Amino acid sequence: MLRVRSTILFLICSLSILLVGCEKRDISLKNAAGPSVQPQELLMWLVGSESQAKVVQALGDEFFKDKGITFRCEAVSWGDAHTKYLTCIAGGVIPDIGTMGLTWGTEFGHLGAMIDLAEDFPQDIKEIRENTFSGLWDAVNYKGRVYGIPFDLSVQIMFYRNDIINKPPRNWEELKGLLIDLRKQGKGMIFDWGSMSWIGYAPYLWQAGGGFYNQEGAFSTLDSKEAVVALEFFASLYTEYGVPKARIPLEQGMRTGDFPLAISGNWKVDSLRLSAPEINGKWSIAVLPAGPSGKNTAFLGGRVMGVFSSSKNKQKAWEFIKFLFQPEIQVRLYKAAREAQDSYLPSNIGTWVILPMEKEFKRILKLQAQDAKGPPSVLGWDDSTRFIEEAIQRVVLEGADAQQELNKANRQVEIYIKK
């Protein structure tokens, strides 16, 4: 009984501490002639770095100047963000604007914590959708409801040493042939983003013509023949073609030339330039090899930004979000992010016309972003990914049958689908 009481006391104290972190600061100004005057304040949480929060703060100060609103942008670390949001939603003390992971907007919106932007601002959302990469939009559109619009994106691409590999593989067959040739030289390929995880498996699933769910998100399709073909091929990269099961950083593998082929995220473009300047000019990027469907589909991630239901400044909050989506503003965010080695890409397609980036790199990144998908916009998805990863790892590490493992994962995933 004493242990139970201690546990309950600990949980109460923990919740209290977290809720204190949720509270907005009192910024009331004393008026010498009368009672205190409460100016309007708009608070934004930015999941990410302090340096980017400072850039957004400066943009907010610029946007809200002479509008009678005090703007504040606070950085929240990725590790703490999801728990902090849920705790503050439960406590009823949340910011006006939040940036967050792609799937979080749907989750929080389902809880009633975020406004449906498609309902409140239908014309704006229509225009934003037309200017957003389709795969990115699908990740935030939940049955016609939109609780957050894309703030930025990150996308998988293929890196290769052009002084070792004449041309990147265009399809699965060419990839297998190249890996056989590289093994003869004592070299190989690495997964720097997605090794033995659902993120690594996802592109092959889509390239094979499959998906995690049916189009409506009503049931799992992991037991499909396309899913099996994808998992068997993904597993073979490790078991037959020498891809290391342990993660090796792209910078290390590319620098030495031991792994002149790698799958990673776009942020590694800047990281590789800075950490391995001796091979600058000796490496290039390419879209992922196409699968049986003929598509080169890659995985993409990123952040969304939305308005919380409790905000007293919903209209102003939305106007600021639209401001951040403008091409000229996204270029400013991109430049600042690169300086801080925080290399997200713009979500507005129109931004890419004026994006200050080398022509060939921009062409490849945009081409891949046009054929890329994010996590499914299905409630219960985040709780289900562990079943997919368990299936992947049993097939890769234990030689289990792909069809049997996916059948099992399919049943487990369906239990977590929320209607």
Question: In b/e form, how buried is each residue of 235-267, taking b as 16+ CB within 10 angstroms?
Answer: bbbbeebbbeeeebbbbebbbeebbbbbbbbbb
Going by C-beta distance under 8 Å and a sequence separation of 6 or more, which residues neighbour residue 109? 115, 116, 142, 145, 147, 148, 306
Backbone torsion region of residue 209, taken as left when φ is above 0, otherwise alpha when ψ lies between -120 and 50, otherwise beta? left
Range of the domain at 267: 156-298+378-415
Asked if residue 147 and residue 96 are part of one domain, the reply reads yes
DSSP 99-131: EEETTHHHHHHHTT-B--HHHHSHHHHHHHHHT
Question: In b/e form, how buried is each residue of 28-54, taking b as 16+ CB within 10 angstroms?
Answer: eeeeeeeeeeeeebbbbbbbbbeebbe
Could you read off the pLDDT of 225-253 as tens digits, one per residue? 999 999 999 999 999 999 999 999 999 99
Give the integer Cα–Cα distance in Å for 330 and 347.
8
pTM of the model: 0.90
Q: Calculate Rg over the CA atoms of the chain.
A: 23
Q: What are the backbone dihedrals phi and psi of residue 40, each rounded to the nearest 5 degrees, phi first?
A: -70, 140
DSSP state of 169: -
Asked if residue 217 and residue 71 are part of one domain, the reply reads no
Could you read off the pLDDT of 169-211 as tens digits, one per residue? 999 999 999 999 999 999 999 999 999 999 999 999 999 999 9
Asked if residue 176 and residue 114 are part of one domain, the reply reads no
Q: What CATH number has the domain bearing residue 254?
A: 3.40.190.10
Backbone torsion region of residue 233, taken as left when φ is above 0, otherwise alpha when ψ lies between -120 and 50, otherwise beta? alpha
Asked if residue 277 and residue 399 are part of one domain, the reply reads yes
Place of tokens 């959302």: 125
Residues 409, 390 contacting (CB under 8 angstroms): yes
**CB atoms near residue 223 (< 10 Å):** 17
The total number of structural domains that make up the chain: 2
Give the integer Cα–Cα distance in Å for 273 and 282.
11
Asked if residue 128 and residue 270 are part of one domain, the reply reads no
Asked if residue 338 and residue 254 are part of one domain, the reply reads no
DSSP tally for the chain: helices H, then strands E: 17, 12
Asked if residue 251 and residue 164 are part of one domain, the reply reads yes
Number of C-alpha atoms within 13 angstroms, CB side, residue 247? 12
Per-residue pLDDT for the chain (419 aa), expressed as one digit of tens each? Answer: 434 344 334 344 444 444 445 655 443 333 434 444 456 899 999 999 999 999 999 999 999 998 999 999 999 999 999 999 999 999 988 999 999 999 999 999 999 999 999 999 999 999 999 999 999 999 999 999 999 999 999 999 999 999 999 999 999 999 999 999 999 999 999 999 999 999 999 999 999 999 999 999 999 999 999 999 999 999 999 999 999 999 999 999 999 999 999 999 999 999 999 999 999 999 999 999 999 999 999 999 999 999 999 999 999 999 999 999 999 999 999 998 887 667 799 999 999 999 999 999 999 999 999 999 999 999 999 999 999 999 999 999 999 999 999 999 999 999 999 87
Asked if residue 107 and residue 206 are part of one domain, the reply reads no
CA 399 to chain centre: 31
